[in-house]
Structure 1
């Protein structure tokens, strides 16, 4: 008789977990409150424009490919992607522009030519990022931090001897100021803190591991857009017999004798041998686990930043823009102070513009572009968001007009907005935080919920709010770490 597993939520980690369990021989059922799979990794369609709704950067594609291979399929037959020649275009208001070439040496020369930063400094920084990845990834990305065998294996013992070189005792900004001579280069590398909703002036320098993924390994683009990660894995899971029930909001995880035995939806109860929560950990404890012991210290941790996104259909093409574009704030430190200390939005925010129609032409009508226009904002703590959004929209448009020498407002054909309140309501992310608990201290990795419950047997956790963290690769790895614990 097959063992049964219930997964709560069909975010990318939940889908990945369903594939891994189905391959193990489990009978898997997924309950999803929304009417579609993918969680944040969804899409929006507006009057001829298509937008990837959430995550826009694709790294470590082997984490997706591995799932197809586990199922005995050739990934290339189901999911295609391409490596980016240019990871990002960077813009400053003084006219400086940098193309972040995928080739390390070309990128280093570009930074030297455009910003005056010695190319050797850039190459050295990326070599340092590779060193961090070599020694930290096996511990913090690929294994559970909540099991003793993680800390006593040979890889861990080797890393202990290098703790002083792994950035644990410095901040990202502090480390970058030591590595680089030019303020703009420091700002460019500080940007990677935003990849998990952190503040570069507080988060540990261990996060300087992130540029390694983008440059030493590479940044990629799925040929059908980011949403195809969701769709291809969703189709794979269904081909393995996974059953999905959409519009079914789990109201309670049923626990008997300290053992998870099922879930309750309305008047119905569904039972299984294994229960997996892919819902945001904080909101899960507040709702579907409200009757159980609460991990108060973890629940009370400060949350990551959120986002304000304008999905704009633009009635013009801008040849100077690429897939990923950053228009930097003139005062980066003040911007992060407003986000994390003042809990508001700086008047000169850094603007990120993602334009998939550069690579996928049918995402916008001919001669047009689909702009995913985003700024980092604080999580929701009851601010007057209607006022903040209105003022931020003006600031964003003014910024774009100054940097690109244009008048963007008349070119906006369609608009939809996603902000902290709607992020929370659509994805159950506590306070609309994109990455769960904040990483703004050196112990942050240890202050994420484990991939299992220490109090309730047969209850497991995956997704961006638990170990190892947020973002597509880490969510996929959370599913891998978790399912390896399940017999």
Structure 2
């Protein structure tokens, strides 16, 4: 039986393992940690359960498709659709519930922000059109194969290119709204791929359609259940996992990838797929092979500073997803991408899974995932930055919610860019690999195959089509489609 080796058990690695198993390969996954899932991990502390990584779940059918590959295996993975995508807060007392139904969103936003319904409705309709026009080209196929460009879908995208917002920034596209708060709300979607709304192209205005058009979902047992359901499925269908066994080297001969070496031994394979960030893949595993300099020198996406707080009371005004906006959005992103620091007025995201899964916190309490966007790790004084950020976060929460949150923090765990880099091999702790701060970013990402080494492939958030749960799953689909069935 043909053998496939996967380096890393992040979401892209798990999904690729399942797809290659379905193609008839004997699959072995090597993972440096003692668990599968990469950033989709969780911890329990003092009676509270916290999802450590991604907290927004869209395009759930991409997970369903993996379970459907093996219909004989019982599928316990389930999820619900949310009626409200996010609760938004500003320091001046403005509060907004973002409904996932377009009509409800338009009605509520028009009333609160005094914006014409036609303007908001047109924006969301355009978001859907841009998504539908470009998903086949940018999200579902390899951008690095000529065959991708000889299709009807590609022709449609090219014909409509002037209407896709490629020449404007997202912020410029969002200036269609007269109310700056509504512009800020839609500018936030740049952070879904770790970019700045003042630099990323306007085509990113298609992202709201994922959340409001297709829907926002919640896995019944938390985000960790996404990775764990795939890991459990993989073990049931015979995928082998070798935990705490880091790969030290990818071996090749005559431009053909042949094996990998760990501290224990060398393992031969017909197919090798790296789910490791593309930067350490070259710098650590392919040290003697010429690296794609331009690709590795791309600007990194933002990272995150996350406080996991056990809160000893409940806040009924909060929901699963909550945003407390900065008063100065441009300065916040200038600090992240230009100054490699944190502004004193950060936008705060609070995720509370105990709103849906009551057992994630003790009775009468809540588990808060409190995150701010942060620069990558460039050797800053993180201890000082974390202490200052914690004070600023508490100050903003107190202003927006009219409380003294410091009195209610019963337990705390902190994850910073240095931890993210160390635990997930993400270069500089970037959450999404390269940033999308220019209109050519999608084409500059590393392809899902290796142009120089046959039988070596790449998957995950640092390669095409990008980071985040849906894109990592699509990356696995693209990668597996490039690999022939086992003979």
How does the TM-score come out when normalised to structure 2?
A: 0.98
Write the mapping of 1:438-449 to structure 2, written as runs, cut at 5 A: 438-449=435-446
Q: Is the 8 A contact 2:169 2:201 kept in 1?
A: yes
Q: Is the 8 A contact 2:312 2:365 kept in 1?
A: yes
SS of 2:234 mapped into structure 1: helix
Task: Specify the alignment match of 1:205 in structure 2.
Answer: 202
Q: Is the 8 A contact 1:196 1:471 kept in 2?
A: yes
1:241 pairs with 2:242 = no
Q: Is the 8 A contact 1:23 1:240 kept in 2?
A: no
Partner deviation per Cα, 1:34-92 (whole Å, 9 max, x = no partner): 000000011111111001110000000000001111122588x4211000010000000
Write the mapping of 1:290-301 to structure 2, written as runs, cut at 5 A: 290-301=287-298
1:280 pairs with 2:280 = no
Task: Specify the alignment match of 1:134 in structure 2.
Answer: 132
How far off its partner does 1:119 sit? 2.2
Partner deviation per Cα, 1:361-389 (whole Å, 9 max, x = no partner): 00000000000000001111111111111
Partner deviation per Cα, 1:103-139 (whole Å, 9 max, x = no partner): 1111111112222122222211110001101111010
> Between Structure 1 and Structure 2, how many residues are aligned?
484
Task: Specify the alignment match of 1:153 in structure 2.
Answer: 151
Distance 2:18 2:191 in 1: 30
Q: Is the 8 A contact 1:12 1:476 kept in 2?
A: yes
Distance 1:353 1:121 in 2: 29
Distance 2:56 2:264 in 1: 41
SS of 1:353 mapped into structure 2: strand
Which of 323, 327, 340 is the matching residue for 1:326? Answer: 323
Task: Specify the alignment match of 2:181 in structure 1.
Answer: 184
Write the mapping of 1:117-132 to structure 2, written as runs, cut at 5 A: 117-132=115-130
SS of 1:341 mapped into structure 2: helix
Distance 1:44 1:192 in 2: 27
Task: Specify the alignment match of 1:34 in structure 2.
Answer: 33
SS of 1:71 mapped into structure 2: coil
Distance 2:116 2:42 in 1: 41
Q: Is the 8 A contact 1:96 1:115 kept in 2?
A: no
Q: Is the 8 A contact 2:73 2:233 kept in 1?
A: no
SS of 2:373 mapped into structure 1: strand
Distance 1:141 1:24 in 2: 22
1:171 pairs with 2:169 = yes
How does the TM-score come out when normalised to structure 1?
A: 0.98
How far off its partner does 1:430 sit? 0.2
1:22 pairs with 2:25 = no
Distance 1:267 1:167 in 2: 51
Q: Is the 8 A contact 2:15 2:66 kept in 1?
A: yes
Aligned-residue Cα RMSD (Å) equals: 0.9
How far off its partner does 1:410 sit? 1.6
Distance 1:33 1:327 in 2: 36
Q: Is the 8 A contact 1:139 1:145 kept in 2?
A: yes
Task: Specify the alignment match of 1:59 in structure 2.
Answer: 58
SS of 2:462 mapped into structure 1: coil
Distance 2:462 2:251 in 1: 21
How far off its partner does 1:427 sit? 0.3
1:462 pairs with 2:474 = no
SS of 2:326 mapped into structure 1: coil
Distance 1:249 1:85 in 2: 43
Task: Specify the alignment match of 1:391 in structure 2.
Answer: 388
1:219 pairs with 2:220 = no
Write the mapping of 1:254-273 to structure 2, written as runs, cut at 5 A: 254-273=251-270
How far off its partner does 1:267 sit? 4.2
Distance 1:220 1:402 in 2: 29
Task: Specify the alignment match of 1:50 in structure 2.
Answer: 49
